[in-house]
Amino acid sequence: MKVLRTPDKHFNNIKGYPFKPIYTNIISDDGTKLRIHHIDEGPQDGPILLAMHGQPVWSYLYSKMIPILNKSGIRVIAPDLVGYGKSDKPSMREDYSYQKQVDWMTQWMKINDLNNLTFFGQDWGGLIGLRMVADNPDKFIKVSMGNTGLPYAPNTPDEVIKKIKKFRESKIKLTPLSMSKEINKMDTGMTHPALKFMYWQKFCWDSKNLPIGLINSAMMENKPRNEIRNHFILHKFGLSRISPYVTDLMKAYDAPFPTPAYKMGCRAMPSHVPIIPDQSLEAQKKAREYFKTTDKPFMSVFAGNDPVTNAMEKDVLNMVPNAIKVPHIGGGHFFQWTKPKELSKVLVDFIK
C-alpha cells in the first residue's frame, strides 16, 4: 500500500484550529503502517466525548463546538479518519472499504486505551462509529448520533441495483450544481433514495480533483449558485487557490490535499455507503441486532432539514427501541458547524 502524508506546512495559518496534534501508528491488514491523527481537548478527568467526522471533512468540523464543550467540563477526543485531515492517506481506490475504516479506527481506539466513552458521530463518522460501538460495547457508556445511520438494504429491488450500476459506469458529466439538484430530492419519496445518492457517488469518484473546499463551503456557508459555478470553473483550471470566492473555511478543508493524489479517500468512500447489498451486509445486520437489544443510553439528534439523511432518522428510531429522539435543531448536513451551540447543548445535557 502506497501511503501519502500531508506535510505539516499545509496546516499553517488555519483559523480557529489551535489544537495540539496527537499521532498514533496502527498496522493495516497488509502490514502497512498508518498514522492516525486526533486531538484531545478539555479536562482530562472530565467525561469523554468521542466525536467522529464524515466525508469530505476532518476534525476541523468540531472546532466551533470544542470550546463550548470544554467549558461545560467535557473532554473531547476527535480523530481524523484515514484518508482525511492530518491522518495518512492511502493512495489507491482498493485501499479503502467500510470494513477497513472500522478496523483502522477500532485499532486506533484500543491502542489509545479509550474507555468510558460517549460517542457522537455524523455522516461516515456514524457509519463507522456505530459499528465500533456494536463490536466493542464495553468501551462505551452512551451513544449519540445525527444525520447518519447504519444503512441496511438487503431487499433493494433488482431494477434499482441495475440502474445504479449502469449510471455509475455511464459517461454522464456532473457538476456540483447538477449533482446537488438531484441529491436535494433524496427525501421526497418520488423515487428510491439510492437513485439520488448515486449522483453524489458518481460525482465524487469521477472528479479526480474533487473540489472539497467548495463542496463544504456550499453546504456550510450557503454560497450563492453563481459563486459555486464560477469557483468550480476556476477549480477545473487549477486556479481555485487564487479564486476571489475563497473563504477561510474552504482553505481549511482544502489544506489536507496538496494535490489530487491525496483525495482518494474522499473520492472512494461514498461508493462504499451500503445503499444496495454489498460485502458489508452481514456486518451491518449484526450491528443492527446489537442496537435492537442494547439498554445503553442512546440519543438521536437530527437536523431535520438535510435531504441526504432525513429518511434515516425513522430507520434509526426503529433500530434502537430505547433511543431518545431530540427535536430537530436545523443546520443542514454539517450541523456541527452551522449549529454548534445548539448541538453542544444537546450533547452536554445527554452526557450529564
pLDDT digits (tens, 9 = 90+) for 157-184: 999 999 999 999 999 999 999 999 999 9
Last residue of a domain, one of 207, 238, 272: 272
Mean pLDDT in residue range 36-53 = 98
pLDDT of residue 213: 95
C-alpha cell at 126: 456514524
- Same domain for 125 and 64, yes or no, is yes
- Asked whether 35 and 5 are in contact (CB, 8 A), the reply is yes
Whether residue 191 is predicted with pLDDT greater than 90 in this model: the reply is no
Is 333 annotated as catalytic? yes
pTM over 0.85: yes
pLDDT of residue 231: 93
24 forms beta bridges with 36
pLDDT of residue 182: 95
Least confident piece of the model among 20-29, 151-160, 183-192, 282-291: 183-192
> What is the distance between the alpha carbons of residues 336 and 350, in angstroms, rounded to a whole number?
16
Residues 6+ apart with CB under 8 A from 190: none
pLDDT classification of 99: cutoffs 50, 70, 90:
very high
Residue 115, SS3?
coil
C-alpha cell at 165: 450500476
Q: What percent of the chain has pLDDT over 90?
A: 94
Mean pLDDT in residue range 53-60 = 98
Instruction: Give the angle subtended at the CA of 53 by the CAs of 311 and 291, to the nearest 5°.
Output: 55
- Same domain for 241 and 294, yes or no, is no
- Same domain for 166 and 75, yes or no, is no
pLDDT of residue 239: 86
Peptide bond into 90 cis (omega under 30): no
- Same domain for 15 and 117, yes or no, is yes
The average confidence (pLDDT) of the chain is 96
Is 38 annotated as catalytic? no
Long-range contacts of 316-320 (CB under 8 A, 24+ apart): 316/145, 316/149, 316/150, 319/149, 319/150, 319/288, 319/291, 319/292, 320/291, 320/292, 320/294
Neighbours of 241 (CB within 10 A): 12
- Same domain for 210 and 239, yes or no, is yes
pLDDT of residue 242: 82
Q: What percent of the chain has pLDDT over 70?
A: 100
pLDDT of residue 238: 87
Last residue of a domain, one of 272, 301, 330: 272
pLDDT of residue 110: 98
- Same domain for 80 and 179, yes or no, is no
pLDDT classification of 189: cutoffs 50, 70, 90:
confident
Mean pLDDT in residue range 89-103 = 97
Spot the catalytic one: 38, 53, 192, 333. 333
> What is the distance between the alpha carbons of residues 79 and 53, in angstroms, rounded to a whole number?
8
- Asked whether 109 and 52 are in contact (CB, 8 A), the reply is no
- Same domain for 30 and 116, yes or no, is yes
- Same domain for 284 and 138, yes or no, is yes
Spot the catalytic one: 80, 95, 103, 306. 306
Spot the catalytic one: 80, 88, 95, 123. 123
> What is the distance between the alpha carbons of residues 278 and 233, in angstroms, rounded to a whole number?
35
- Residues 292-315: tens digit of each pLDDT: 999 999 999 999 999 999 999 999
Mean pLDDT in residue range 25-39 = 97
Mean pLDDT in residue range 209-236 = 94
Mean pLDDT in residue range 147-160 = 95
**Number of domains observed in the structure of the chain:** 2
Q: Which of 90, 16, 115 is nearest to 59 (CA)?
A: 16
C-alpha cell at 65: 463546538
Q: Please give the order of strands across the beta sheet that includes 298-301.
A: 22-27, 33-41, 75-79, 48-52, 117-121, 140-145, 298-301, 324-326
pLDDT of residue 241: 77
pLDDT of residue 181: 95
- Asked whether 205 and 271 are in contact (CB, 8 A), the reply is yes
Residue 29, domain CATH: 3.40.50.1820
> What is the distance between the alpha carbons of residues 73 and 61, in angstroms, rounded to a whole number?
20
Report the helix count and the strand count for the chain, using DSSP H and E.
Answer: 14, 10
Least confident piece of the model among 87-96, 100-109, 148-157, 235-244: 235-244
- Same domain for 53 and 144, yes or no, is yes
Is 8 annotated as catalytic? no
> What is the distance between the alpha carbons of residues 14 and 301, in angstroms, rounded to a whole number?
29
- Same domain for 54 and 82, yes or no, is yes
C-alpha cell at 162: 441495475
Instruction: Name the residue range of residue 128's domain.
Output: 3-152+278-351
Whether residue 187 is predicted with pLDDT greater than 90 in this model: the reply is no
